[in-house]
Structure 1
Amino acid sequence: MNKLHKTILCALGLGLYLPSASAQELATSELQRLIQMPLKNIFVEYPNKPGHTYVDSTDLGLSPRELHPAFYGCFDWHSAVHSHWMLAEVLRSHPDLPEREAIIASFDQHLTEENMRSEASYFDRKLASTFERTYGWAWLLKLSEELHRMAAETGDTVLQQKALLWAQNVDILATKIVAKWKAYLPKLTYSNRVGTHSNLAFALSFAIDYARQRGDKDFEQALIAKARELHLADKRVPAEWEPNATDFFSPTLMVADLMTRVLPQREYVAWLRTYFTPAGIARLCQLPQVSDLSDYTIVHLVGLAYTRAWTMARIARYLPQGHPLKERFGKAARAQYQHGMGMIFRSNYGGDHWLASFARYAYEVLQGAY
C-alpha cells in the first residue's frame, strides 16, 4: 500500500446535509463513511471486471492498471469514473473538507495528461470502439462537467488552477467521447429501455447536461432531437412491471427525467398526462426490496432507490404548482433516498465500490443542485 493510499484511508470528517434536515444540521458520520468509499476504491485494482475484449494473445498479460491507468479501480471502469466524479463534487462543494489533500493527491496521480491520453487511445483499439457505450460515456462527461464547474466556481486560487489542469486532461478523453456520441446518434433507431448500464435515457440526460455546460449547441440539439424522436410518442408505459431482478434504473422514470431537459414545461405536462398509468405510479413509489446485500447484482436494487429518488425529485421540481405528481413524487423521492441510506453501509464490496456516487448525486438533486 503506497503512502498516498494510506493517507486516503486515514482521511476523516465532513458532514452530510440530509434532505429531511435543516440546512445547519450536520450528520458528520454518514458523509464521512460515504466519502471513504471512493477514496479507497479508486486504488483497489482487484477484484476487477474490465470488460476488455481480447483480440489476440498479446493482450493476455495486461492488468487492469495497464489497460486503464486512470480508471483501473472500483471493480470496473465506469465505477472508477463516477467515483472520481463524486470526489470532484464534494471537493467543489466543500473545498475545506478534511479529505481535501487526499483528493487532490489522488487526482494529481490519476488525472494526468499521460494517463488520459492512454485512456483515450484505448477506444482506438481493435473492437474497443463501443467500450462503455453509453453508461461509462455518460459518467465521463459528468466528470468533465464537474471539473469545469469547480474551476469556474471556486474562489480558491490553488484549487482553481488544479481543476483547470484536471479538466484539460480529462477533456482529452471527453472530446473523444463526444465525437463518438455524434457518430452514434444518427445510427440509433431504437431506445434501450433497460434498468441497467445500457439504459439510453440516462446517458442522453447526462450528455445534454454536459453539452449545455460546455456550450456545444450542435451536440445539444442532436441529443434533444434524438430524445424527441425516440420518446415523444411514449404512452401508458408499463411501469407496474418494474423492477427487474437486477435493476438500478427505472426505465420509465429515466425517460420522464430525460424529457424534463427536452420539453418546455407546458409541453412536458401534456406529454406526462398520458405517459404513466395509475398502477405504474403506485408501483414506482414502492420501496425496492433487497433480499441479499452481499449479492453483486441484487445489490443493484439499492442503487434503484437512489435513481428513483433523483428522477422523482427532478420531475417534481419541473412540474407546476398544483400538479398531482409534484407532491407525491417529492415525498416518494425523499423516502427512496432514505431507504437507500438505510442499506448502503451494509452492502459489502458489491455495493461499496459504486453506491456512494449514486447516494451523493441523489442527495444533490434532492437539494436542487442538479
Structure 2
Amino acid sequence: MPQIDDYVHPFAEVALSNITREFPFASHHLARSVADIVPAAEKNPAFANSYDWHSSVHMHYLLASLLGTKAAHGASWRGRAVEVLTAHLSEENILAEAAFLRSNPSWERPYGWAWAVELNRVLNASDVPELRELGKNTQVLADTVFDLVTAWLPKVAAPVRHGVHSNTAFGLRRILIGARVAGRDDIVDVIAGAARRFFAEDVAWNFVQERSGHDFLSPGLCEADIMTEVLSEDELATWLPEFLSELSPKSPALTPVKVLDPTDGQQSHLYGLGLSVAASVMRLAPKLESIAENTGHDELMAQAKRMLTRVDSLMAPGLDAAASDEYVSSHWVATFAWEALIHNENQ
C-alpha cells in the first residue's frame, strides 16, 4: 500500500477543484413554491459546489484535514486552500446554511448532517490558526445539527439500514463522536439511547446478502461501528462477537465489487463501498482482538486477523478512482479514501 503522504497533494487538488466547481450540481431539494427555484448558491452560499451539498461539505472537511498534515507545509496549494475555505466558510455564509437546515429539517438527514459536524470538529481541532477561526463560524452549523437530531430521533420508529446516504447508523456515529468531542453529553445520550433501541437486540448479521448494486456502505459494519461507541466494554464483549459471527474473509461483504461502468454515478458508489468497509474492518478488528485477549477466545482472535487481510484489496479500486478524471467518482470518493488511509497508517 502506498504511503499516505503520497495522496495528500492529489487529494488536495481534487478537493480544491471540487469546491470551486459550480456545475454539474444536484440540489436534491423540495421546492414549495416558485420562490424556491433559484440558483443553488442563493440558498447554500457555502456548499453549492462539488456536485451536491453533502459532497461539498465533506470535500471541505477533506481539504481542512489535509491542511493539518506535514505534507501540506510549504505545499503550492496551501495558500489557495486556506483562501477558498476562508471565503466559503465565512460567518455570513454559515449562518445562511444553518438557517436553511432549520427551515428544512429533514433535508440531508442524517448523512449531510454528519459531515457538517465532522467539518466543524476537524476545524476546531486543527493546528492551523486560520482553520480554528473557521471552526468558530461553523459551530452554529454543528449546533443546528445537534438541535435537529434531538427533535428527530424520538420520532424515529425504526432505523434505515440501506447502504447509502439514508443509513441511520453511519450518520449517527459521526454525529455522536462530534458531540462527544464538543462536550455535548446531552446529544451523546440521545444518540446512544436511540442506537440501543435500534440495534441492541441484533445478532448474527447476514453479511452474505446485505449488498446491493449501488451501496457505498455496509449496513452491518455501520451498525457494529456505532455500537462500539455506545456499549460498555462488558456489553460489547457479548454483543460484537455475536453480531459479527457470520462474517469471514470469504464473505461477499469483504470482497470488492468490480465497477463495470465508471460513468454510472450509482454504480460508482461501489468504489466507496470498498473503502468504507476497509475502514470499518480496521476499527472493528482491534475491538475483537481485545475481546479475544480478555476471554481467551482463540477463534475470535483468528477472525479479527483474517478480516484484516482483506483491507488492501478492498481499498485498491477506490484509491484509484479517488483522483480520477471521472467526476461521478472524484467528487466524493477521496474523502472515504483518506479516512481508510489514516486507519491503515495507524494499524
Q: With structure 1 as the length reference, what TM-score do the two structures score?
A: 0.86
Mapped partners of 2:322, 2:136: distance in 1 = 33
Give the unaligned 5+ runs of structure 2: none
Deviates more, 1:162-171 or 1:334-343: 334-343
Mapped partners of 1:231, 1:255: distance in 2 = 7
What SS does the aligned partner of 2:165 have?
Answer: coil
- What amino acid sits opposite 2:308 in the alignment? G
Q: Deviations over 1:40-65 (max 9, x none)?
A: 110111111101211111222x1111
Q: Deviations over 1:210-267 (max 9, x none)?
A: 0111111111122111111111110122221131011000101111111111123342
Q: 1:68 matched to which residue of 2?
A: 44
1:33 aligns with 2:5: no
Number of residue pairs aligned between Structure 1 and Structure 2:
335
Deviation at 1:329, TM superposition (A): 2.0
Q: Which of 135, 142, 160 lines up with 2:111 in the alignment?
A: 135
Q: 1:306 matched to which residue of 2?
A: 275
Q: Which of 96, 108, 130 lines up with 1:118 in the alignment?
A: 96
Deviation at 1:119, TM superposition (A): 0.7
> Does structure 2 retain, via aligned residues, the 8 Å contact 1:238–1:277?
no
Mapped partners of 2:95, 2:239: distance in 1 = 43
What SS does the aligned partner of 1:205 have?
Answer: helix
Q: Deviations over 1:329-350 (max 9, x none)?
A: 2222233122322343446010
> Does structure 2 retain, via aligned residues, the 8 Å contact 1:248–1:307?
yes
Q: 1:207 matched to which residue of 2?
A: 175
> Does structure 2 retain, via aligned residues, the 8 Å contact 1:43–1:72?
no
Question: Considering only aligned residues, what root-mean-square deviation do their CA atoms show, in Å?
Answer: 1.9
Mapped partners of 2:276, 2:261: distance in 1 = 19
Mapped partners of 1:249, 1:365: distance in 2 = 17
Deviation at 1:182, TM superposition (A): 0.9
Mapped partners of 1:71, 1:294: distance in 2 = 24
What SS does the aligned partner of 2:68 have?
Answer: helix
Matches within 5 A, 1:85-104: 85-94=61-70, 95-98=72-75, 99-104=77-82
Mapped partners of 1:27, 1:212: distance in 2 = 29
Q: Which of 253, 257, 262 lines up with 1:293 in the alignment?
A: 262
Q: 2:121 matched to which residue of 1?
A: 145
> Does structure 1 retain, via aligned residues, the 8 Å contact 2:111–2:171?
yes
Deviation at 1:366, TM superposition (A): 2.4
Mapped partners of 1:124, 1:181: distance in 2 = 11
Aligned in 2, Cα 1:56/1:26: closer, same or farther, shift over 3 Å?
A: closer
What SS does the aligned partner of 1:171 have?
Answer: helix
Deviation at 1:92, TM superposition (A): 1.5
> Does structure 2 retain, via aligned residues, the 8 Å contact 1:240–1:280?
no
Mapped partners of 1:365, 1:138: distance in 2 = 19
Q: 1:10 matched to which residue of 2?
A: none
What SS does the aligned partner of 2:255 have?
Answer: coil
Matches within 5 A, 1:1-370: 20=1, 28=6, 30-60=7-37, 62-94=38-70, 95-98=72-75, 99-125=77-103, 128-150=104-126, 154=127, 159-160=128-129, 162-278=130-246, 282-319=251-288, 320=290, 321=293, 322=298, 323-346=301-324, 348-368=326-346
What SS does the aligned partner of 1:240 have?
Answer: coil
Mapped partners of 1:26, 1:51: distance in 2 = 34
Q: Deviations over 1:173-215 (max 9, x none)?
A: 1111110011112112211100100101101110111011111
What SS does the aligned partner of 2:28 have?
Answer: coil
> Does structure 2 retain, via aligned residues, the 8 Å contact 1:248–1:303?
yes
> Does structure 2 retain, via aligned residues, the 8 Å contact 1:245–1:298?
yes
Determine what percentage of the aligned residue pairs are the same residue. 28
Mapped partners of 1:49, 1:38: distance in 2 = 18
Aligned in 2, Cα 1:208/1:142: closer, same or farther, shift over 3 Å?
A: same
Q: With structure 2 as the length reference, what TM-score do the two structures score?
A: 0.91
- What amino acid sits opposite 1:210 in the alignment? G
What SS does the aligned partner of 1:241 have?
Answer: coil
Mapped partners of 1:305, 1:225: distance in 2 = 30
> Does structure 2 retain, via aligned residues, the 8 Å contact 1:91–1:97?
no
Q: Deviations over 1:266-305 (max 9, x none)?
A: 4223112321343676222212221111111100000001
Mapped partners of 2:64, 2:327: distance in 1 = 22
Mapped partners of 1:207, 1:59: distance in 2 = 29
> Does structure 2 retain, via aligned residues, the 8 Å contact 1:294–1:347?
no
What SS does the aligned partner of 2:66 have?
Answer: helix
Mapped partners of 2:279, 2:304: distance in 1 = 13
Q: Deviations over 1:33-87 (max 9, x none)?
A: 2221111110111111101211111222x11111111001111000000001001
> Does structure 1 retain, via aligned residues, the 8 Å contact 2:102–2:144?
no
Q: 1:16 matched to which residue of 2?
A: none
